[in-house]
Amino acid sequence: MIRKISLGLGLALAAVLLPAPAYADALIDNANGYTLDGEGNLVRFTGLLFDVETGRVTRLLARRDDRPREVDFRHDAQGRTVIPGLIDAHGHLMGLGYNAIQLDLSDTASLAEAQARIAQYSAENPTLRWIVGSGWNQESWGLGRFPTAADIDAAVSDRPVWLVRVDGHAGVANSQAMEAAGITNASQSPAGGRVERDGNRPNGVFVDTAMDLVANAIPELQPPLRDIALREAQDILLSYGVTTVHDMGTSASDWAVIRRAGDRAQLRVRVISYADALDTLLDTAGDAMTPWLYEGHLRMVGLKLYADGALGSRGALLLQPYADAPGEMGLTLSDGTLIRNRLSRLSLDRFQAAIHAIGDGANREVLNAIDEVAYRYSDDRRWRIEHAQIVDPADIARFGQHGIIASMQPVHQTSDMFMAEARLGPGRLQGAYAWNAMLRAGSHLAFGTDFPVESPNPFAGLAVAVSRQNASGQPPGGWQGQERISLLQAFAAYTTGAAYAGFAEDRIGRLGDGLYADFLIIDRDIFDATPDEIRQAQVMETWIGGERTWVRGAQNRAASNAPPMDAPVGPMIAPEDMPEGR
Amino acid sequence: MIRKISLGLGLALAAVLLPAPAYADALIDNANGYTLDGEGNLVRFTGLLFDVETGRVTRLLARRDDRPREVDFRHDAQGRTVIPGLIDAHGHLMGLGYNAIQLDLSDTASLAEAQARIAQYSAENPTLRWIVGSGWNQESWGLGRFPTAADIDAAVSDRPVWLVRVDGHAGVANSQAMEAAGITNASQSPAGGRVERDGNRPNGVFVDTAMDLVANAIPELQPPLRDIALREAQDILLSYGVTTVHDMGTSASDWAVIRRAGDRAQLRVRVISYADALDTLLDTAGDAMTPWLYEGHLRMVGLKLYADGALGSRGALLLQPYADAPGEMGLTLSDGTLIRNRLSRLSLDRFQAAIHAIGDGANREVLNAIDEVAYRYSDDRRWRIEHAQIVDPADIARFGQHGIIASMQPVHQTSDMFMAEARLGPGRLQGAYAWNAMLRAGSHLAFGTDFPVESPNPFAGLAVAVSRQNASGQPPGGWQGQERISLLQAFAAYTTGAAYAGFAEDRIGRLGDGLYADFLIIDRDIFDATPDEIRQAQVMETWIGGERTWVRGAQNRAASNAPPMDAPVGPMIAPEDMPEGR
């Protein structure tokens, strides 16, 4: 407090002292930096100044700009490319974590190798009540038959084991699992499924709907395991440069896991949450979006709703029958009346709605509902349509109205393209995964991956967005190539667009103007790269709120064991007076 | 950062500048202050210095001590008594709040007045789906009969109304409530209850177990109403000088309400939480007590368990049959095996156990369980026995072993004394509500009220603790007068003892040594007062973490509308240079 200085030195001294900062400045220098600015222009920078205390960017520096003479920390990007942290606008955080902690058999080459892997995993996880895994393929094993309970018993017989085949259409249980699930000689195959037998006795193989006979007996994961799953999910996301996720369908249990991490300063990735049910939303948030919690790491903003199912299973609601199933038009999971009621209910408390709509029928239904409700809640509601995969071309223009957000997942396009052609036939693909048309219609575009359905790697998404080609470069010219967009547009959908979709454009999505110092140092200049090179891009360092939370090679494990928000990994930031010749 | 000053003024200048504090100091002066110190001695002070930034006490000042020449804020206690905030070691936070927001008819003098009150409450609460209230007494109304559905319909007919009689043994429903509950002419009286009728038709009056026919139809309160209930509960607690509560049996829903308040900086009272169920505990806390959340305002530390029921309903488990019901010995709600298992399970994760035990049989069972488990978990477990109302004198010494905490509620003694005599007979009262014997046995004593079962007013508890007499001064000499304790001992049980019981002695319970500046300004010197004067003591101001959160007359309503943790009520603290002659 300056007024306490009573030495008679007066204002002149005060003026000299005031510029000394109350906080610590940090400089990321020698960067090949890219970010969008507030008007959507691509901005280049070579230096990034941020305040360590607040974790916010204070200034971007061009090559010609003088560097501050003194900073508290300086980090040399060594000419590498620096971009804002990427935002996945549609993922399932705990689903990614639960997948990550399960036993993965996808790279086993023989039954014996799988058995060894199962036994090892079991030994490494003595507290697990069930061993659950997936990824096996008897074809890769050259086995000529499905594995049976006896095969699995040979690896683990003291606990139930349940292993799902690589395609998800069959599973094998060991004897303990069958006993725990109450499977006996009397157990019958349900409709749409098959309990395989050795004579009269179920042999451990359960196909399609019969899989539930065992899967339903698996106990819920204990909270400490859930905590590990969240840690693993964060490690995966950080390794791909995903600094914020929109968690689609956060359950009460998911929320509890995320809060436990937040309470212990172990929430590194930022999470914008959409509740799985109205009760979850109201219990968590009361009568308004939660505040930003944990220094901008968590907020619940709204509700996930489902208008229809998915295209692969013919659950997507279409305007015309499926080309490959003329008697079917898909499923209505929430009808127009329910959607209107929910939109009204949510809007009263200024909650956001994120509505899953895949088929052209479902998209039209949701657009109709928004049209009707919008006149009553005309201000900034940011209604989200999730996926928007198949939209009647006549409806695409409507995405530009009422500020609707098209929340799309580029990689779904390459994963689905051949299936989509079968489902819809060649004449109805014009509005399929049509992100270019969405942009031209004035929609707000936000990109994501739907992880763990797809890998959360955003660089694959960027590559698909600009090429409409899969990793093999197929098809030539891109599938429905007119829907390719520029890398700048795709980059915006993964940064500023995704931030806007979560009411977070005031703090994330770009670098500058006091937004958070969430940024990546990557191994190549994606703005000077082919789609294939973009897809192969690797993240070297991931920084969130001015803290280095992930470093390639450091490694994940170290990063997740340290209290990451307080103590960044490894040697971290070099003090300004440390020699740079490392 | 001093090294940035490059004016050649050097160390001399730096030394002059350094004493300017980085934080703001506040002084409560002219206090008649009492607190315990770390050794349990009563300490007097006239000045209290705290750091506004951290909310922690920096120094206590005696009359002879020089005051700091400059502080940022100064508040004159005007010679009033200042004591640490009081801690209720056993209460039900949301229960208090739900009671507070219900319609209260206890002071109505006629049916007409009650009808007017019901109608007014209904009009004031248009969003309530049901009107629920209590406190009516047809005797006070001079009605000569119970009120009926028709009487209530005359006040409110558009919504269900359910009003419980003052004694809790009957309720009256209006027609809408009966309809919502599915009451028809065919509804039968259940065992232990009576559906009253007008001819064949239920007339709205439901007695004893029949009350559930209606009460079970009342919908759960919506989250915004729960938020209001918590606000009301906090206002009540603050008005009595309760700055921390041990919430006994926090449900998942309770926790959600408390977190919503915490997330919005509306949690003023500190809450130490004991979960209502193991699932709640694990979901909330994972595998260890939560950290202190919201700047020391919330922490979940363990689990509430029930060994038996209550004495009034003969649910307390006794060693010998009830004197007034020779065939009964009470109820075992958790047997010794379950208690041992729970104690072990909780101890593994270093959670605390708080076990309700009222009868001498239940207390012995819990003591036996602790004896057996203690050798395996001998460090600082602080097993709590809640209530410990009736303890065999031979067992009292055992409370001094294994660091057991006797968590007792003085006012229960005066509420229960005549009933206890009936239940136990005259020969078995030696170990009843025996807080003096508990202290002599070396038990850790923590006091509370079990609010809303009793009023949360801690001064009534202090008065009972030293007198064993009710508000009418009965019985002369006190009930089982040998169990009176000194005010110093009672004060300790409400401050340092209750803090210790919640693993919080490092931050609350006394003033000094960097603990939180949680203190009360009260209207009299309780250390120079009769029990009756202690009982009548009024809190003038309640401060928590150095912030004035409640002021008598300011008032509750204003306090609860403001964001209380950031902006204290009213003119708050006078700047040092403001004239004091107010």
Q: What angle do CA B526, B529, B533 make, to 5 degrees?
A: 90
Q: What angle do CA A266, A543, A525 make, to 5 degrees?
A: 145
3-state secondary structure A465-498: HHHCCCCCCCCCCCCCHHHCCCHHHHHHHHCHHH
Nearest CB neighbour to B263, from listed A1, A20, A293: A293
For chain B, residues classed under CATH 3.10.310.70 are 94-215
Q: In angstroms, rounded to a whole number, what is the distance separating the alpha carbons of residues B480 and B469?
A: 10
Name the helix (H) or strand (E) containing A408.
Answer: strand A405-408
Q: In angstroms, rounded to a whole number, what is the distance separating the alpha carbons of residues A285 and B260?
A: 7
Chain A 392-451, residues with CB within 8 Å of chain B CB atoms: none
Residue A168, pLDDT score: 79
CA distance A95 to chain B (A): 17
Q: How far is CA B390 from CA B230, B400, B438, B556, in A?
A: 32, 16, 12, 38
- The mean-pLDDT minimum among A37-46, A233-242, B68-77, B478-487 falls in B68-77
Q: In angstroms, rounded to a whole number, what is the distance separating the alpha carbons of residues B138 and A129?
A: 59
Give A321-380 pLDDT, tens digit per residue: 999 999 999 989 888 899 999 999 999 999 999 999 999 999 999 999 999 999 888 778
Q: Nearest-CA residue of chain A relative to B69?
A: A4
Query: Cβ distance A251 to A95 under 8 Å?
Result: no
* CATH for A2-85+536-575, options being 2.30.40, 3.40.50, 3.30.1920, 1.10.3470: 2.30.40
**Residue range B87-102: mean pLDDT, rounded:** 95
Give B163-198 pLDDT, tens digit per residue: 998 877 889 999 999 999 999 999 999 988 899 999
Token pair recorded at residue A328: 């079917």
Residue B453, pLDDT score: 86
Chain B 225-244, residues with CB within 8 Å of chain A CB atoms: 227
Asked if residue B224 has a cis previous peptide bond (ω within 30° of 0), the answer is no
Q: In angstroms, rounded to a whole number, what is the distance separating the alpha carbons of residues A525 and B396?
A: 76
For chain A, residues classed under CATH 3.10.310.70 are 130-215
Q: How far is CA A198 from the centre of its chain?
A: 43
Those residues with Cβ within 8 angstroms of residue A212's Cβ, 6 or more apart along the chain or in another chain = A190, A193
Asked if residue B452 has a cis previous peptide bond (ω within 30° of 0), the answer is yes
Q: Look-up: residue for tokens 């001695």? A: B41
Chain B 24-83, residues with CB within 8 Å of chain A CB atoms: 70
Tell the burial category of B425 from Cβ atoms under 10 Å away from its Cβ (0-12, 13-18, 19+). Answer: middle
Residue A149, pLDDT score: 97
Provide the pLDDT confidence category of residue A24 given band limits of 50, 70 and 90. confident
**Residues of A in Cβ contact (< 8 Å) with B291:** 263-264
Q: Do B16 and A4 count as a contact with CB atoms less than 8 A apart?
A: no
**Residue range B234-253: mean pLDDT, rounded:** 98
Give A380-432 pLDDT, tens digit per residue: 899 999 999 999 999 999 999 998 999 999 999 999 999 999 999 999 999 99
Q: What angle do CA A50, A52, A53 make, to 5 degrees?
A: 125
- pLDDT for residue A81 is more than 50: yes
Residue A355, pLDDT score: 98
Token pair recorded at residue B520: 């009360």
Residue A6, pLDDT score: 33
Mutation target among A259, A279, A350 for the B interface, most CBs of B within 10 A: A259
SS3 A14: helix
Give B310-356 pLDDT, tens digit per residue: 898 889 999 999 999 999 999 898 888 999 999 999 999 999 999 99
**Residues of B in Cβ contact (< 8 Å) with A258:** none
Those residues with Cβ within 8 angstroms of residue B239's Cβ, 6 or more apart along the chain or in another chain = B539, B542, B550, B552, B556
Token pair recorded at residue B176: 């809408």
CATH code of the domain occupying B223-513: 3.20.20.140
Nearest CB neighbour to A286, from listed B4, B223, B284: B223
Q: What angle do CA B168, B169, B173 make, to 5 degrees?
A: 85
Mutation target among B221, B260, B295 for the A interface, most CBs of A within 10 A: B260
CATH code of the domain occupying B2-86+534-575: 2.30.40
| CA distance between the termini of chain A | 42
Mean pLDDT computed over every residue of chain B: 90
Residue B571, pLDDT score: 30
- pLDDT for residue B569 is more than 70: no
The domain made up of A130-215 has a fold known as Diaminopimelate Epimerase; Chain A, domain 1 (3.10.310)
**Reading across the β-sheet that carries B242-250, which strands appear in turn?**
B86-91, B242-250, B270-275, B298-306, B352-357, B384-387, B405-408, B444-447
**Residue range B211-218: mean pLDDT, rounded:** 95
Q: Nearest-CA residue of chain A relative to B295?
A: A263
Residue B555, pLDDT score: 56
Tell the burial category of A305 from Cβ atoms under 10 Å away from its Cβ (0-12, 13-18, 19+). Answer: buried
CA distance B558 to chain A (A): 21
Q: Is residue A15 within 8 angstroms of chain B, CB to CB?
A: no
**Residues of A in Cβ contact (< 8 Å) with B283:** 223, 253, 256
Provide the pLDDT confidence category of residue B573 given band limits of 50, 70 and 90. very low
For chain B, residues classed under CATH 3.20.20.140 are 223-513
CA distance B257 to chain A (A): 7
- pLDDT for residue A151 is more than 80: yes
- The mean-pLDDT minimum among B13-17, B242-246, B413-417 falls in B13-17
Nearest CB neighbour to B4, from listed A70, A263, A264: A70
Q: Establish whether this prediction's ipTM goes over 0.85.
A: no
Helices (H) and strands (E) in chain A, counts: 20, 25
Token pair recorded at residue A334: 């929430």
Residue B338, pLDDT score: 94
CA distance B231 to chain A (A): 14
Nearest CB neighbour to A20, from listed B4, B260, B285: B4
SS3 A353: strand
Nearest Cα residue to B341 out of B325, B332, B329, B353: B353
Q: Do B1 and A20 count as a contact with CB atoms less than 8 A apart?
A: yes
CA distance A141 to chain B (A): 40
Q: Is residue A123 within 8 angstroms of chain B, CB to CB?
A: no
Name the helix (H) or strand (E) containing B123.
Answer: helix B111-124
Residue B169, pLDDT score: 80
**Residue range A77-83: mean pLDDT, rounded:** 98
Nearest CB neighbour to B286, from listed A72, A223, A252: A223
Residue B23, pLDDT score: 54
Q: Look-up: residue for tokens 């940064």? A: A495
Q: Is residue B290 within 8 angstroms of chain A, CB to CB?
A: yes
Q: In angstroms, rounded to a whole number, what is the distance separating the alpha carbons of residues B364 and B352?
A: 19
**Residues of A in Cβ contact (< 8 Å) with B566:** none
Q: Is residue B284 within 8 angstroms of chain A, CB to CB?
A: yes
Of residues B127 and B378, more confidence is placed in B127
Token pair recorded at residue A87: 């935002």
**Residues of A in Cβ contact (< 8 Å) with B264:** 291
Q: Do B253 and A283 count as a contact with CB atoms less than 8 A apart?
A: yes
Q: Is residue B264 within 8 angstroms of chain A, CB to CB?
A: yes
Q: Is residue B285 within 8 angstroms of chain A, CB to CB?
A: yes
Residue B127, pLDDT score: 84
Provide the pLDDT confidence category of residue A23 given band limits of 50, 70 and 90. low
The domain made up of A307-485 has a fold known as TIM Barrel (3.20.20)
Q: Is residue B251 within 8 angstroms of chain A, CB to CB?
A: no
Of residues A569 and B255, more confidence is placed in B255
For chain B, residues classed under CATH 2.30.40 are 2-86+534-575
CA distance B136 to chain A (A): 32
Query: What single-letter DSSP state applies at residue A439?
Result: H
Nearest CB neighbour to A256, from listed B20, B284, B291: B284
**Residues of B in Cβ contact (< 8 Å) with A285:** 260
Token pair recorded at residue A555: 């490694």
Q: Nearest-CA residue of chain A relative to B287?
A: A224
Q: How far is CA A171 from the centre of its chain?
A: 27
**Residue range B412-424: mean pLDDT, rounded:** 95
Nearest CB neighbour to A222, from listed B5, B7, B282: B282
Q: Do A5 and B21 count as a contact with CB atoms less than 8 A apart?
A: no
**Residue range A51-68: mean pLDDT, rounded:** 95
CA distance B476 to chain A (A): 51
Q: By percentage, how much of chain B surpasses pLDDT 70?
A: 91
Q: By percentage, how much of chain B surpasses pLDDT 90?
A: 81
Q: Do A227 and B256 count as a contact with CB atoms less than 8 A apart?
A: no
Q: Do B5 and A16 count as a contact with CB atoms less than 8 A apart?
A: yes
Q: By percentage, how much of chain A surpasses pLDDT 70?
A: 91
Residue B559, pLDDT score: 41
- φ and ψ at residue B245, rounded to 5 degrees: -125, 145
Residue A251 CB neighbour total at 10 angstroms: 14
Q: In angstroms, rounded to a whole number, what is the distance separating the alpha carbons of residues B483 and B420?
A: 15
- pLDDT for residue B545 is more than 90: yes
Beta strands at B161-165 and B170-173: parallel, antiparallel or unpaired: antiparallel
Residue A329 CB neighbour total at 10 angstroms: 17
The domain made up of B94-215 has a fold known as Diaminopimelate Epimerase; Chain A, domain 1 (3.10.310)
Residue A403 CB neighbour total at 10 angstroms: 18
- Pick from A190-199, A328-337, A511-520, A556-565 the range whose average pLDDT is largest: A511-520
For chain A, residues classed under CATH 3.20.20.140 are 307-485
Provide the pLDDT confidence category of residue A205 given band limits of 50, 70 and 90. very high
Q: What is the CA radius of gyration of chain B?
A: 26
Q: Do A286 and B5 count as a contact with CB atoms less than 8 A apart?
A: no
Phi-psi region of B109 (alpha: psi -120 to 50; beta: other; left: phi over 0): alpha
**Residues of A in Cβ contact (< 8 Å) with B227:** 286-287
- The mean-pLDDT minimum among A191-200, B132-141, B360-369, B557-566 falls in B557-566
The DSSP bridge partners found for residue B386 are B356, B407
Q: By percentage, how much of chain A surpasses pLDDT 90?
A: 81
For B38-74, give one letter per residue: b (16+ CB within 10 A) or e: eeeeebebbbbbbbbebbbbbbbbeeeeeebeebbbb
CA distance B277 to chain A (A): 14
- What is the secondary structure of B174-204 as a DSSP string? -HHHHHHTT--TTPPPPTTEEEEEETTEEEE
Chain B 522-551, residues with CB within 8 Å of chain A CB atoms: none
Of residues B230 and B572, more confidence is placed in B230
**Residue range A159-179: mean pLDDT, rounded:** 92
Q: Do B70 and A4 count as a contact with CB atoms less than 8 A apart?
A: yes
Those residues with Cβ within 8 angstroms of residue A549's Cβ, 6 or more apart along the chain or in another chain = A238, A268, A542, A543, A559, A564, A565, A568, A569
**Residue range A156-178: mean pLDDT, rounded:** 93
CA distance A293 to chain B (A): 7
Give the A:B interface size as CB pairs under 8 Å. 60
Q: Is residue A279 within 8 angstroms of chain B, CB to CB?
A: no
Token pair recorded at residue B162: 């359910």
